[in-house]
Amino acid sequence: MGTNIRLVENPVRPFSVHPHKFALWLFLVSIIMIFASLTSAFIVKQGEGSWLDYNLPSMFWFTTAVIITSSGLLQWGYFAAKQDQFIKLRILLALTIVLGLVFLVGQWLSWGQLVSMDVYFVGNPGGSFIYVLSGLHAIHLVSGIVFLIIVMISVLKNKVHSKNLVRMEMCTTYWHFLGALWVYLFIFLVFYH
């Protein structure tokens, strides 16, 4: 009885995802569901009438440019991490953190612009929704800044490098998601406010 041994040059590997990345993707899906339901409720409530008519705060344009820029800088930082360019990585992470904070200050100033236009959180649902959408996004952005700081500490301890990129990949994914989410909300508000 002979044994047949067959070598497979390119074996099929089962699909696998790092458990932390999988958890992040589940978290992102839950955020998508929250904002999809809020924007749907916005459209339904707007269709009922008695909707407050107002202009979007001009600061929203600025914060949109800031978040897009920060996303580009973080992607550049990710490429620097892949090439073990640690000084460049630290600078780009720091700039992304600063732009994240600038975004939050810009959103706060946007709320001030809304108040100056007599658009308040309580009262007309047209005003309430803009505070809820931008405020909920800002809360998630705070978590993104915390994540960036955690990654920065890991970089400073030399724990992020070309052979250990999981944390950097997750942070970059989350930050890009937050940027894309804001761009979606901004475009939504431009067309539906």
Whole-model pTM: value is: 0.89
- Report all structural domains of the chain as residue ranges with CATH numbers, in order of start: 54-192 (1.20.120.80)
**Helix-helix angle 86-116:59-82, to 10 degrees:** 170
pLDDT tens digits along 54-74: 899 999 999 999 999 999 999
pLDDT at 30: 97
Beta partners for 161?
A: 164
DSSP summary character for residue 15: P
pLDDT tens digits along 91-149: 999 999 999 999 999 999 999 999 999 999 988 888 999 999 999 999 999 999 999 99
